[in-house]
Structure 1
Amino acid sequence: MSEGYPSLQNSISTPILIIGGGITGALIAYQLIENGRKVVLVDKRDVCNGSTAASTALLQYEIDIPLHKLIEIRGLECAVDSYINCEKSIYNLKKITDAIKSKSGFEFKKSIYFCSLKKDLKDLKLEYKTRKKFGFDVRWLDKYDLKEIGLNAFAAIESKSGAVVDPYRLAQDLLHYCKEKGVLIFDRTDIISIKKHVKKLQAFTNTKCTITADHVIHCTGYESVEMLSNTVVDLKSTFVTISESYPDLPNPFKDTIYWNTSDPYQYFRGTSDGRIIIGGGDEEFKDAERRDKLICDKEDYLLKQFGKYFPEIHFEPDYSWAGTFGETKDGLPYFGKLDSKKNEHYVLGFGGNGITFSVLGMHSIIPSLDGISHPDLEYYKFGR
């Protein structure tokens, strides 16, 4: 059940202001409150009703760009550390869900990264060898192994470190926990502008109030593009279809999530209430109205893809939706300050690993606030 929060009606002061009440803002608030910091969090909508409500919540250590290619783009240390730390983030998120007694349905799953085109086989083999070289627990599956699973594809990499969660419920549970610990939360409170005032920052709201803060943390995902350079992120529209509930979830989806080497890729997973979600068909984002007009055509496309890969499973669509996300050139997030002279910080988990990146961002937010060096503030800095 979602919890209601008031809009801000009076001007206030706080050491730290978080803008964004989705899963990222909730995780950052949790990290700060556990560290004994005083926090105010605001969201322009009802909390958790932005990208968090549209997320399909595949938790994977695999980044949108394969490890062997990421090494070429960002170097060995950054690439390998990013994969390792994303894997750790999945286990860290499980600890958090347990600590706050969240009923968000966190479940560990195997992850299968498969190719259905022969031209992708060479790269997939190289990716497998690269992951094995750097210690990841992976297994190679050929087409006969996949046929036994019920998947029609040439080959795949199986990883054990995948998971699923209900991000909306988790964000709600985190915010409730933070509220009980003293975080002040206001929704339907839009920050119109932020200005530097002496040594502090002043955020002006649509409710004609002012929030004076020592630090402001932006956790607004793709909506941050208005404040960022156009070269930082490209906006994409993605499409999702969910099935009606099965009396018994088909075996291939009971303990495994799937995604493929197509560009853009498709993904497939089961849910705790016995449904199957399929997603993909990404397009350049133009505007929400144009995006939503594509939903019917994209549903047909996704159903055809599912039928090709899982020919023995009947998929009866229940409903479909679309969402927007940001895609970076290296598939990695942005953390830290945009302007070193201003105490405005960003935790932007762009890409397909938004939730995993948000957990990763928890570790560098306090160093960012305190002006202390941290590897992630270097790996994921602006202007890299």
Structure 2
Amino acid sequence: MDLSSGYPFSLVKNGLPHVYPKLQQDIRTPVTVIGAGISGALTAYALVNAGLECTVVDARTVGLGSTCASTSLLQYEIDVPLTELTGKIGKAGAQRAYELCAASIGALEKICDKLDDSLFQSKESLLLASYKKDQPMLEAEFKARRATGLEVEWWDAATVKNNMGFTNPAAIWSATAAQTDAYMLSHALHQHNIRKGAKVYDRTLVKDIRFHKNGAELLTEGGPVIRTRHIVIATGYEALQYVPAKVVKLHSTYAVAGEHTENDTAWYRNCLIWETKDPYLYMRTTPDCRVIVGGRDEEYYNPQRRDKLLKLKTRQLQKDMQARFPDMDFQPEFAWTGTFGSTQDGLPYIGEYRKMPHTFFALGFGGNGITFSQIAAEIVCSLIQGKKHPDADLFSFDRFKG
């Protein structure tokens, strides 16, 4: 699947920081993780730290799927607001989903502290009411988050104007947020995992899976066979080859990174900015004094059509940025487009899928897929060890049945 194109900022900046071998011979391994992007890397990290031997394989060079195209925002907010999610799955489940996402940011910070603390920057997040009509919904959302125990503040129009310099009817200020570099974090995780005994192979396409009573055989393109007891599918949107397409709807999204500036403060506390309209616009800064703006999503997956729109979307995102911050000289330097998916309730799919024995899925769909990937890593690791996880049902493939 063609997942991204253009010039993703992290890939241009960092190139290929590490080289991984291609699988050349048959192997045996207790756990095989298919997908070496951020989801697979975090899952393998959880496994090796639990003392489980594992092997990671990827059809591409490590990180060159959706991971390198990620804008790497870390938020507890999912694409479906807490109030709306409550209506879909109930109050307890909705609150738990938001609590898990908030906790996962802290877990990611601890991981980065061990690997490379420069990969994690704590931030705050600002959710803007795009229109006056959105204000009642946002007020209800604010009350629901506060009741859940999340640290939030209500900003009226005057506060937004005073702090940000532009006009919006209202906003929710959240104290819990962060940003990372998903591409470089994936490599850092793999390097740690390799030191702990894991094997990582890229350019190794699994073309067929043959299940047996006590495990499976993975047939790779070129001949080598992987014999394994457990499989973890962490291939993101490419996992649709294994599960019904109806579980996720694919979209095309766009992002632009501006030129480096000498100003290390772009706006109030360099918070993450996003809004209530759908599709929403979002903005973040980088440690090297750039601004990344993304959005202008299209509701389809068509690589040719998606790529053809990149120049137009770049101009539109530049105008969006200038409309918010007219005094800022925002000049796009790198632009890219990618694929992401949304689910019925905004939650990912994690755990077992009944049609595939010995197999677990770690699919962090949505706008905050990295936090979902961390949740998936913890759940899948527990399930592989034969333990029940109290939150597994919240993200199961069967959650819409009955």
The interval holding the TM-score normalised by the smaller chain is over 0.9
1:302 matched to 2:323? The reply is no
Residues 1:322 and 1:251: Cα distance change in structure 2 (over 3 Å): closer
Of residues 369, 390, 394, the one that matches 1:354 is 369
- Are 1:172 and 2:177 an aligned pair? no
CA distance in 2, matches of 1:72, 1:371: 32
Following the alignment from structure 2 to structure 1, what is the Cα–Cα distance between the partners of residues 174 and 185?
24
In the TM superposition, 1:256-335 aligns within 5 A as 256-335=271-350
Letter in 1 for 2:237: Y
Q: How does 1:81-230 map to 2 (within 5 A)?
A: 81-101=96-116, 103-104=118-119, 106-148=120-162, 149-230=164-245
1:253 is displaced (CA, Å) by: 5.7
Q: Quote the offset at 1:191 in angstroms.
A: 0.4
Work out whether residues 102 and 170 of structure 1, in 8 Å CA contact, stay in contact via their aligned partners in 2.
Answer: no
CA RMSD of aligned residues (A): 1.4
Letter of the aligned partner of 2:157 in structure 1?
Answer: K
Distance in structure 2 (CA, Å) of the matches to 1:102 and 1:23 = 17
Instruction: Give SS of 2:63's match.
Output: coil
Distance 1:197 1:265, change over 3 A: same
* Maintained 8 Å contact 2:22/2:201: yes
1:13 matches 2:38? no
SS at match of 1:9: coil
Tell me the amino acid that sits aligned with residue 181 of structure 2. D
Deviation, structure 1 residue 115? 1.3
Q: Which runs of 4+ in 1 moved over 4 A?
A: none
Q: 1:238 aligns to what?
A: 253
Counterpart contact for 2:75–2:178, Cα < 8 Å: yes
**Distance (Å, rounded) in 1 between the aligned partners of 2:256 and 2:264:** 16
Q: CA deviation at 1:320?
A: 1.0
8 Å contact from structure 1 (residues 253, 269) kept in 2: no
Deviations 1:339-365 (A, max 9, x none): 176011100000001100011112211
Asked if the contact 1:25–1:219 (Cα under 8 Å) also holds between the matched residues in 2, the reply is yes
Between Structure 1 and Structure 2, how many residues are aligned?
A: 383
State the Cα deviation string for residues 228-269 of structure 1 (Å, max 9, x = none).
112100011100011111111344164311000010111001
TM-score (normalizing by structure 1): 0.97
* CA gap 1:102/1:170 in 2 versus in 1, 3 angstroms: farther
Identity over aligned pairs, percent:
39
Decide whether the 8 Å contact of 2:43 with 2:378 is kept in 1.
Answer: no
SS in 2 for 1:356: helix
Q: TM-score, normalised by structure 2?
A: 0.92
Separation in 2, partners of 1:292, 1:340: 35
- Aligned match of 1:373: 388
Alpha-carbon deviation of 1:92? Answer: 0.6
CA deviation after TM superposition for structure 1 residue 274, in Å: 0.5
Contact 2:318-2:331 at 8 Å conserved across structures:
no
**Which residue pairs with 1:382 in the alignment?**
397
Structure 1 residues 102 and 191: alpha-carbon distance in aligned structure 2, compared to 1, 3 A threshold: farther
Answer yes or no: is 1:342 the counterpart of 2:357: yes
**Using the alignment, how far apart are the partners of 2:356 and 2:285 within structure 1?**
46
Measured in 1, the distance between the counterparts of 2:189 and 2:118 equals 11
Decide whether the 8 Å contact of 2:42 with 2:377 is kept in 1. yes
Q: Which letter maps to 2:151? A: D
Residue 101 of structure 1 deviates from its aligned partner by 3.2
Gaps of 5+ in 1: none
Map Cα deviations across residues 75-120 of structure 1 (whole Å, 9 max, x no partner): 111100010110010011000011123542x111110000131111
